[in-house]
Structure 1
Amino acid sequence: MTRRIATVVLLGIAGCATPGRPSGTVVEPFEGVTVQPSGGVVEVEAFVCLDGGWLEQVACSPDTREHEALVVIEARPSNLHAALLMAGFEPGSPGQWSYDDGAVAVTPPTGDIVEILVRYQKDGRSVQEPIGAWIVGAEDNRPFPERAWVFAGSLLAENPRWMGPGEHYVADLTGSIIGLVTFGDEVIGFERVMADQEAVQATQWQVRTGYVPPIGTPVTVILRARSPEP
């Protein structure tokens, strides 16, 4: 499945690559998305959509989960997947969970580790920091863990009848771009599976209220390869 998704997405960007590009070149394969292939970096335009409350996602598509996500990314999730492939990331598969006889069984997500940072303007200067700085524990305000993300790569699924024959990239319909809880269709997922139903598992993370920029603030989400261990 992972190989098939990569093939489908790469076919969609075949015209974006230009042979003989200088190694340090930054390209813009899609509107609002830039890629530095040699550096393993993808940058995506976004804006803040939440400044308080529980979190189930970090980033979503417009008109989907803005009530439980930090930022909105207007680029299509499948285009973001393609950009990550261009930057050298290998996708895996989203996490999954099931509940049976009072126990939760989990399958962790797989894929290359992705570091996620955010850049924005604050008091007239540029600030760049890990997206985890915007997230705290729901009960104890504990800091968010570092290196917590993997390129899961969403899923391909058979089209619903209204779409006609064929398959679709699931996150393009659901808007799941960067997930905290495990919906099972996110492009980038939290490394630890968390059920997306409150009755099964209580919400664990919330917005760092008073720290996150105001709603509507433009930001750049930076996705980059894992830094070497110190």
Structure 2
Amino acid sequence: MPFASPLRFLLSRLAIASTLLHFAVIALVVSGLKASAEDTPALSVTKGSADRHPELTRLSPTEEVWIDAKAKEVLVGGKIAIDKGPIEFFACPKDTKEHESIVAVRSSARLIHTALLAIGIQPGKPVAFDPAYVPASGAVVSVTMRWIDAKQETQEARAQDWIRNTKTGKATEEEWVFAGSSLWTDSTTGKDYYQADGGDLICVSNFPTAMLDLPVKSSQSNQALLFEAFEERVPPHDTEVEIIFSAGKKINR
């Protein structure tokens, strides 16, 4: 399938939206993200960026984001950045925060945000700390990893299985929510920037700039980091992977 404009793809879906209000809200969000994208250089084509999914809708010729409309999934290409040690992020855009993230994706966060909107996943609000802690909110997002192992066999695992809670020694059970990050306007240029593009794609420490965040307290302090890469489970450094995003089940607390 030829490359599709994220905005055009969304508009085709929005044409059947149940209300004009729903249409207007999503259109405004996507317009803001599109404006931000125009102000930021596109990612360069890198190893592994060939169109591996011609049967799906690819949102950019240079960024590895595909939409499976039938399955209501978003697929994103990347590689293992670190396979051991403390982490603040599960995944970040490449050339941002690979030193503290298990996966580096070959996509901007803003394009993944747009793709999640396209499959009907709605953002909430990022975490707040002032005057009091308010956890991130939004639709629950399921994150699944796919890769080819040393035996050339395709494997899948929940992203949580690659994250170890340093207090329990077990894989985390926490689910991510679509916090949605935010747009920041440069007062000198008037340009808008999607803040998660700076690295805060899938967070395990709480950040008000996170696209996906955990709706529980998780410190950014190096002395109090709650999570680390599950070394025995994470594939080796530089392994090619895909992240599969889909709607998760509602959290009952």
For normalisation by structure 1, the TM-score amounts to 0.81
Q: Is the 8 A contact 2:36 2:193 kept in 1?
A: no
For 2:201, what is the secondary structure of its paired residue?
strand
Percent identity over the alignment? 25
Q: Is the 8 A contact 2:147 2:156 kept in 1?
A: yes
Displacement of 1:166 in angstroms is: 2.9
Measure the CA separation in 2 of the matches of 1:159 and 1:228. 36
Measure the CA separation in 1 of the matches of 2:124 and 2:249. 19
**Pair 1:158 & 2:185 matched:** yes
Of the candidates 61, 65, 89, which is equivalent to residue 57 of structure 1?
89
Deviations 1:175-230 (A, max 9, x none): 2110110121111111213232246xx1111111132111100000000112599x
Per the alignment, residue 14 of structure 2 pairs with none
**Pair 1:205 & 2:250 matched:** no
Of the candidates 64, 78, 99, which is equivalent to residue 67 of structure 1?
99
Of the candidates 89, 93, 99, which is equivalent to residue 125 of structure 2?
93
Compare the two structures and name the one with the higher strand fraction: 1
**Pair 1:29 & 2:59 matched:** yes
- Equivalent pairs, count: 207
Measure the CA separation in 1 of the matches of 2:213 and 2:70. 24
Could you tell me which runs of 5 or more consecutive residues in structure 1 were left unpaired when the two chains were aligned. 14-24, 99-103
Measure the CA separation in 1 of the matches of 2:134 and 2:153. 42
Displacement of 1:64 in angstroms is: 1.9
- CA RMSD, 1 decimal: 2.5
Deviations 1:63-83 (A, max 9, x none): 221111110012011111111
Letter paired with 1:179: C
Distance change >3 Å, CA 126–CA 132, structure 1 → 2: same
Q: Is the 8 A contact 1:95 1:193 kept in 2?
A: no
**Pair 1:169 & 2:199 matched:** no
Per the alignment, residue 206 of structure 2 pairs with 182
Per the alignment, residue 79 of structure 1 pairs with 111
**Post-superposition, which runs of at least 4 consecutive aligned residues in structure 1 deviate over 6 A?**
10-13
Of the candidates 134, 140, 146, which is equivalent to residue 113 of structure 1?
140
- By relative contact order (CA 8 Å, sep 6+), the higher-ranking structure is 1
Letter paired with 1:85: L
Letter paired with 2:211: V
Per the alignment, residue 20 of structure 1 pairs with none
Q: Is the 8 A contact 1:48 1:215 kept in 2?
A: yes
Could you tell me which runs of 5 or more consecutive residues in structure 2 were left unpaired when the two chains were aligned. 1-24, 38-54
Measure the CA separation in 1 of the matches of 2:84 and 2:128. 27
Of the candidates 137, 147, 150, which is equivalent to residue 165 of structure 2?
137
Displacement of 1:5 in angstroms is: 3.1
Measure the CA separation in 2 of the matches of 1:32 and 1:141. 33
Displacement of 1:41 in angstroms is: 0.7
Measure the CA separation in 2 of the matches of 1:228 and 1:205. 23
For normalisation by structure 2, the TM-score amounts to 0.74
**Pair 1:215 & 2:243 matched:** no
For 2:120, what is the secondary structure of its paired residue?
coil
Letter paired with 1:140: T
Letter paired with 1:226: G
